[in-house]
Structure 1
Amino acid sequence: MTSHSNPPRTGHNDTSGTQAVEGDELVVSVGPIAHGGHFVARHEGRVIFVRHAIPGEKVRVRLTDSGESSRFWRADVVEVLEASPDRVPHFWRAADSLASWNRGAPPVGGAELGHISLKRQRSLKSEVLAEQLKRLAGLDLAIEVEAVGGNHDDGLGWRTRASFAVTSKGRLGMHAHRSDVVLPVKEMPLALQGINDLRLWDVDLSGIARVEVAVPANGSRPLILLAPEEGTSPKRLHSIVSQLPGDVSVAGFDPGKGEVEQLRGRTWVQESAAGHDYRVTGEGFWQIHKDAPDTLVGAVSDYLSRGGYLEPGAAVADLYAGAGLFTAPLADAVGITGSVLSVEGSPGTSRDARKNLHGAPQVEIVQGRVERVLHQQSRSFDSLVLDPPRAGAGKTVVKQLMATGPRAIAYVSCDPASFARDLGYFHQGGWRLESLRAFDLYPHTHHLETVGLIVPAA
């Protein structure tokens, strides 16, 4: 079949029969997808995790992480020798492995499946989910990964938030995968047009280490967060602010401390979902796909309401609650005769939740680690909503959840491995997975979101 790249560059060794080093190239046949956006290949018995490939292809790869003592190597595709019918032209030159390595540099991260048709991307994500459920929870289950929103045909323009690094020359950039290398960018096709309209790549960002951007899908005022390098003067910071569009809020922030400093306008954005408005300060968590909040609230509410677990007068809890995305609709459902316990570990995000839910007397906001708060609680709940970070809830929290005696738990997860692991803990405690849905909230990346309904087996 026709190659999808220019001929390989000269100056790199073919490693056949020799000890490989980073930068060497070799030809491999590509096997199945693995969790994390890699594809499994083998060379002389050693596993290689290859990015930017498709199962069934024959490719030339460049080693990006290798060593004789390494259990496995990592590599990027630099030339396609036998292409899959599911391979399509990459939509973003900066993230295209073939074009990038042909120029002598790695691709930026964040669109590692952009060379695969959307239909195949979703089938591959389904394979990953099924493999994790089988390996970690002992479940044989095939779940379709559902498209979300109205842009099923291209999977672009969905990010309401974007994170950028800054090059040594002060230009907007992004990191290569698993690398300190920062590459300049002049577009972000996965982002809402409002993020691209800011044209941050035209701004001299010298003195800034990191840039975070939030452009709410509801059209409210955007926020740019600037993390200054150590030693950057206030004068330099305000010089950068003066180069930014005047209708945008700007704040300084310290990623280590989580502190936000007002520079111009607000230090927060106003988001909307499920008939509610939410204040989200600084780096406070919010789902990044423009249609994710309504999609996830709808799935959770449907599971709990349809099963009779969420009704007026019920006692429910929202754990890892963030700014209250699920708390507000839960409060609507249980009414003033019910109760909602909302638990969030981040102090700033918990303060947002208090502001967002101040008109709901049935809601109790508690700031603290979920395991600590649950340990201090003696009450029981009719149902729980669980939306932990990527690492999952963990064995201790799962045991505590089962001990509170709910009739059902709606588990929202952004990582199939940690979800399957936690599901295994539930199974050990006598609980079972009643229903599961999966959503493609991160097109062109390996990520997906799941919503599961977990109930006592009895």
Structure 2
Amino acid sequence: MDSLSRMAGVDRDVEVQALPGDDESDGLGWRTRVSLHVADDGTVGPYASRSHRVIPVESLPLATAGVNGAAPFGQRFPGVEGIDLVAPADGHVRMLLIDGKPQRRDTITERVRDREFRLEAGGFWQVHRRAAETLYDAVQSSIDEALFDPRAANLDLYGGVGLLAAAVGDRFGDTVRITSVESDEVATEFAGDNLAEWVGAASLTARVDRYLQQLAREASPAERRRLQGATVVLDPPRAGAKKVVVDALAALHLAQVVYVACDPVALARDVALFAERGYELRSVRSFDLFPHTHHVESVAVLVPAAS
């Protein structure tokens, strides 16, 4: 990974792993979510490359068969700004019209292994049909059991509807203590439902940077002790965690950080920030969750550097 070497001074030969079935399908038919645009005359389609010109198409090669079957090819939607197509686990594709009017909340269910996750139809979920399962498994296998304390104040940051917090709970048991922090109020509400079976789980609506700053100011001595030695899973947006969040996490004296990244450059920058604060990169794995694009998803593990 060139960005790790260039920005963090870490030389690692990281193989980007294809997801099951993508090699056989030549990287086609994987998108369960597609956003289409609508021109002023109602024409529906994607934007032409490097423009805002809507082009009509007859197929969406990267999308699943279900999405292609539901796509309104050749139809016109005057007065609509965009159309989202969502294919959840039940196979019933939802077509969401974006027209600036209040929308009724439609709840869908996704499945990962034997677990179900409820979320809003227009809410965030991984777009590749196997991505959620891949990241769920990768986070589970990345956590060092010898460093994990189920009684510590473990954190799931940028937690969405609780996918990765559930991965931790499924590996370490229903009494594990973990708090999922997410800025989207609706997603947090669903996370509370999705994590309800874990007696030690909680979901909070907050910006991650502000939540960590509040912890630094207001945590009791007992809570600070539970934060020391905790495991943190974070899955920030494409821009990464950045300095404020890395500073706050490093100050907690964590046992390990499992960092899910969708931008190798942002990951490399944050790995360098962690290194300056006494953490070292133990491992990194990369996955091609977006075939035929330049995007790569990575799961990295950082631990306190050996003294």
Normalization by structure 2: what TM-score? 0.90
1:370 matched to 2:212: no
Which whole-Å CA distance do the structure 2 matches of 1:220 and 1:314 have between them?
39
1:425 aligned residue: 273
2:159 aligned residue: 321
8 Å Cα contact 2:81-2:98 kept in structure 1: yes
Which whole-Å CA distance do the structure 1 matches of 2:208 and 2:124 have between them?
16
8 Å Cα contact 1:171-1:201 kept in structure 2: no
1:196 matched to 2:34: no
8 Å Cα contact 2:33-2:63 kept in structure 1: yes
Q: 2:178 aligns with which of 333, 340, 353?
A: 340
- The amino acid of 1:152's aligned partner reads D
- The amino acid of 1:355's aligned partner reads D
Which whole-Å CA distance do the structure 1 matches of 2:244 and 2:173 have between them?
31
Normalization by structure 1: what TM-score? 0.62
Could you say what secondary structure the match of 1:321 adopts? coil
Could you say what secondary structure the match of 2:254 adopts? coil
The alignment covers a number of residue pairs equal to 295
8 Å Cα contact 1:312-1:333 kept in structure 2: no
Write the deviation string for residues 65-84 of structure 1: whole angstroms up to 9, x where unpaired: xxxxxxxxxxxxxxxxxxxx
* Mean CA deviation greater in 194-203 or 373-382: 373-382
- The amino acid of 2:2's aligned partner reads E
Could you say what secondary structure the match of 1:411 adopts? strand
1:286 matched to 2:125: yes
Q: 2:103 aligns with which of 261, 270, 276?
A: 261
1:103 aligned residue: none
1:295 aligned residue: 134
8 Å Cα contact 2:45-2:55 kept in structure 1: yes
Which whole-Å CA distance do the structure 2 matches of 1:199 and 1:333 have between them?
38
C-alpha displacement of 1:199: 3.4
C-alpha displacement of 1:220: 4.2
What stretches of structure 1 of length at least 5 have no aligned partner?
1-129, 230-251, 253-259
Which whole-Å CA distance do the structure 2 matches of 1:330 and 1:143 have between them?
24
1:382 aligned residue: 230
1:177 aligned residue: 49
Could you say what secondary structure the match of 2:241 adopts? coil
8 Å Cα contact 1:155-1:190 kept in structure 2: yes
Could you say what secondary structure the match of 1:326 adopts? helix
Which whole-Å CA distance do the structure 2 matches of 1:333 and 1:444 have between them?
33
Q: 1:273 aligns with which of 65, 89, 112?
A: 112
Write the deviation string for residues 181-219 of structure 1: whole angstroms up to 9, x where unpaired: 221122111111000011311432111111111102x23
1:443 matched to 2:291: yes
Could you say what secondary structure the match of 1:425 adopts? helix
Pairwise CA RMSD: 1.8
C-alpha displacement of 1:164: 0.7
Which whole-Å CA distance do the structure 2 matches of 1:452 and 1:391 have between them?
16
What stretches of structure 2 of length at least 5 have no aligned partner?
none
Identity percentage of aligned residues: 39
8 Å Cα contact 1:175-1:183 kept in structure 2: yes
8 Å Cα contact 2:148-2:255 kept in structure 1: no
Which whole-Å CA distance do the structure 2 matches of 1:362 and 1:307 have between them?
18
